[in-house]
């Protein structure tokens, strides 16, 4: 991986001074074109050996470009907030918006590399982190992001010489830390693990660029020209020209027209007296489970989807009545804001992921991608088809971090929905609940039913299954939901 970076690349001062102004001007023009079109973000990852010019290059990029359009983030050790969530969470939170450049000094690659170097992980754990990274970068690039990854390289001898020179110079001695020398002592381990990581993550969509870090002029022009060509080529592509890879076979309706939702017995019965008795018992059970000492090592994510007027809001209220208000959040999901549209589509859900001991209740969820966006044509087929994979990956990461995820689809009949719509229109304090969109969705009842059945088939897993709730009777639905949550918590806390 590193042979070509060890043959002594260099650029003389005269050549550098002649090339630098034109390169700067071209990069700045491209940056403004990127801002103007705002079709995609650029993510630059800066990695390599200490003393190889990573910090100098990062500063140079900020000097050559308009820093107001660059989001520069230097990642240190994860804080308590980050450790309470999946390890990729803090990188999701810092992703640049479309039209902007994000520059990460250190990143998820640092976590994987130094966990292995300092024996905090074994080879299997490292490869698991690499697989997480591959899925993350695949999602970013499929969503349109331009990902540029730089490894600044030095030989062991070059690194030693560079650190000594910096220590002797009063202007740069402060840059050399105890950690730099600790890393130098582990040079061979870092090189071996870095080579393994780079080899497995050097993909066509997000390749590594290995840069000889000894000569500053060569290093600067190499990075500058790489940025120039990559951004220029992406801007030159026709809009929407990214490969529309579909992650699943074509979705066809069953030839006998029998769908999963057709098998539900929607008219379940429960009288008010039984409902009240069971509600009190289940709310007490839920309260105790969320205060269990072992729950501090977990979190609870509740995902509610269903037909319009199926009773999601009423069910959520019966849950929150049993919870400590300081420990839960209800997140209603509507159409994405402009800020959310500028980020990868799952970003707006990652931002609400609870830490350990926390509870988040989503009223509508990430499944809108394969429901409303599919049926209404808001997302291209390639985008909502790959969403099944990305959703499963998202939920897998949450579950691996200790989250108990419970997903509900509340189903009612078309006749029951009509009765509830009319009831809302006739009741003043409920009239706000009914909208033109609700009526329009009724016209696509069959399309939504097929989309829901496909959704369940492709995203109901052994760890994060769907619970289909027969919701014509609200009492029955609320009790089934509460019991399902309690059962899931008890199973995880056992």
| Mean per-residue pLDDT of the chain | 94
3-class DSSP state of 386: helix
> What pLDDT sits at residue 252?
73
Residue 267 three-state SS: coil
Decide whether 1-236 matches 260-491 in CATH topology: yes
| Those residues with Cβ within 8 angstroms of residue 36's Cβ, 6 or more apart along the chain or in another chain | 99
> Do 417 and 307 meet the contact criterion of CB atoms below 8 Å apart?
yes
Token pair of 72, please?
């520069």
Q: How confident is the model at residue 249 (pLDDT cuts 50, 70, 90)?
A: low
- 1-236 has which CATH code? 3.40.50.300
pLDDT at residue 438, rounded to an integer: 79
Strands 146-153 and 42-48: parallel
Work out the burial of residue 324: count CB atoms within 10 Å of its CB; fewer than 13 is exposed, 13-18 middle, 19 or more buried: exposed
- Residue 341 has a pLDDT of 96
- For the stretch 316-359, pLDDT in tens is 999 999 999 999 999 999 999 999 999 999 999 999 999 999 99
Residue 431 has what pLDDT?
Answer: 74
Measured distance CA(76)–CA(46) in Å, rounded: 13
For the record, the structure tokens of 43 come out as: 């993510």
pLDDT > 70 in the chain, percent: 97
pLDDT score recorded for residue 75: 95
Q: How far, in Å, CA of 80 to CA of 315, rounded? A: 33
- At residue 121, the 3 state secondary structure works out as coil
- Classify the phi-psi angles of 346: left when phi > 0, otherwise alpha if psi is within -120 to 50, otherwise beta: alpha
Q: How many CB atoms lie within 10 A of CB 214?
A: 23
H or E segment and range at residue 474: helix 474-493
Give the chain's end-to-end CA distance (angstroms, integer): 47
The answer to whether the CB of 145 falls within 8 A of the CB of 344 is: yes
Phi/psi-derived region of residue 399, left when phi > 0, alpha when psi is between -120 and 50, beta in every other case: alpha
List 303's β-bridge partners, or say none. Answer: 362, 407
Domain range summary for the chain, segments of one domain joined by + = 1-236, 260-491
Query: What are the pLDDT digits (tens) for 48-93?
Result: 999 999 999 999 999 999 999 999 999 999 999 999 999 999 999 9
pLDDT score of 416: 96
User: 485: number of CA atoms within 13 Å, CB side?
Assistant: 32
Q: How confident is the model at residue 247 (pLDDT cuts 50, 70, 90)?
A: low
- Across the range 301-313, mean pLDDT stands at 96
Instruction: Classify 1 as helix, strand or coil.
Output: coil
**Global pTM value:** 0.91
What integer pLDDT is reported at residue 411 of this predicted model? 98
Instruction: Return the closest-CA partner of residue 466 out of 399, 411, 412, 407.
Output: 407
Q: How do residues 153-175 score in pLDDT, each as one tens digit?
A: 999 999 999 999 999 999 889 99
> What mean pLDDT comes out for the span 98-107?
97
Q: How far apart are CA 53 and CA 209, in angstroms?
A: 14
By the 8 A CB rule, do 329 and 299 touch? no
Q: What is the DSSP code (8-state) at residue 97?
A: P
Tell me how far apart the alpha carbons of residues 347 and 88 are, in angstroms, rounded to a whole number: 12
Q: What would the pLDDT profile of 10-51 be if each residue is shown by its tens digit?
A: 999 999 999 999 999 999 999 999 999 999 999 999 999 999
Alpha helix ranges (H) inside 214-271: 216-236
> Where are any strands of DSSP class E within 52-95?
70-74
User: 74: which DSSP letter?
Assistant: E
For residues 436-465, one letter each, b for 16 or more C-beta atoms within 10 angstroms of the residue's C-beta and e for the rest, the string is eebeebeeeeeebbbbbbbbbebbbeeebe
Question: Rounded to whole angstroms, how far apart are CA atoms 311 and 474?
Answer: 7
Which of 364, 330, 274, 314 lies closest to 477, judged by CA? 314
User: Once rounded to an integer, what is the mean pLDDT over residues 455-468?
Assistant: 96
Alpha carbon 472 to its chain centroid, in Å, reads 35
Q: In what order do the strands lie in the sheet with 328-332?
A: 328-332, 359-363, 299-306, 403-411, 466-470
Higher pLDDT pick, 214 / 248? 214
Confidence of residue 448 (pLDDT cuts 50, 70, 90): very high
For 260-491, which CATH superfamily applies? P-loop containing nucleotide triphosphate hydrolases (3.40.50.300)
């Amino acid at each position: 991986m590193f042979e070509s970076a060890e043959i002594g690349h260099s650029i003389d001062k005269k050549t550098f001074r002649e090339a630098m102004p034109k390169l700067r001007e071209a990069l700045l023009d491209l940056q403004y074109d990127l801002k103007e079109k705002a079709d995609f973000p650029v993510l630059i990852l800066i990695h390599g050996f200490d003393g190889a010019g990573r910090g100098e290059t990062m500063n140079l990029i900020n000097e050559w470009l308009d820093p107001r359009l660059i989001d520069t983030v230097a990642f240190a050790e994860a804080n308590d907030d980050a450790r309470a969530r999946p390890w990729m969470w803090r990188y999701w939170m810092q992703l640049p918006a479309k039209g902007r450049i994000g520059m990460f000094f250190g990143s998820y690659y640092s976590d994987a590399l130094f966990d292995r170097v300092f024996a905090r992980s074994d080879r299997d754990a490292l490869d698991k982190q690499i697989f997480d990274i591959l899925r993350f970068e695949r999602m970013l690039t499929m969503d349109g992001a331009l990902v540029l990854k730089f490894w600044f390289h030095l030989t062991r001898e070059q690194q030693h010489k560079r650190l000594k020179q910096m220590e002797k110079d009063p202007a740069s001695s402060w840059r050399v830390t105890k950690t730099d020398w600790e890393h130098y002592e582990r040079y061979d381990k870092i090189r071996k693990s870095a080579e393994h990581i780079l080899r497995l993550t050097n993909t066509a969509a997000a390749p590594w660029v290995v840069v000889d870090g000894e000569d500053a002029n060569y290093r600067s022009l190499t990075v500058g020209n790489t940025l120039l060509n990559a951004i220029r080529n992406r801007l030159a592509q026709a809009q929407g020209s990214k490969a529309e890879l579909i992650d699943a076979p074509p979705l066809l309706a069953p030839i006998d027209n029998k769908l999963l939702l057709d098998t539900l017995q929607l008219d379940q019965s429960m009288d008010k007296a039984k409902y009240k008795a069971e509600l009190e018992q289940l709310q007490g059970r839920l309260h105790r489970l969320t205060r269990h000492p072992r729950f501090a090592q977990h979190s609870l994510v509740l995902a509610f989807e269903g037909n319009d007027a199926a009773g999601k809001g009423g069910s959520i209220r019966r849950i929150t009545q049993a919870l400590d208000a300081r420990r839960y959040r209800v997140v209603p999901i509507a159409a994405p804001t402009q800020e959310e549209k500028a980020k990868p589509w799952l970003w707006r859900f990652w931002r609400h992921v609870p830490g350990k001991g926390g509870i988040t209740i989503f009223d509508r969820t990430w499944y809108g991608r394969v429901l409303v966006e599919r049926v209404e044509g808001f997302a291209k087929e390639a985008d909502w088809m790959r969403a099944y994979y990305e959703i499963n990956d998202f939920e897998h990461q949450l579950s691996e971090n200790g989250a108990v995820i419970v997903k509900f689809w509340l189903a009612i009949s078309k006749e029951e929905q009509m009765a509830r719509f009319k009831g809302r229109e006739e009741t003043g304090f409920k009239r706000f609940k009914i909208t033109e969109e609700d009526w329009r969705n009724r016209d696509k009842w069959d399309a939504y039913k097929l989309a829901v059945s496909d959704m369940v088939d492709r995203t109901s897993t052994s760890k994060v299954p769907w619970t289909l709730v027969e919701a014509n009777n609200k009492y029955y639905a609320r009790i089934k939901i509460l019991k399902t949550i309690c059962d899931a918590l008890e199973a995880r806390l056992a």
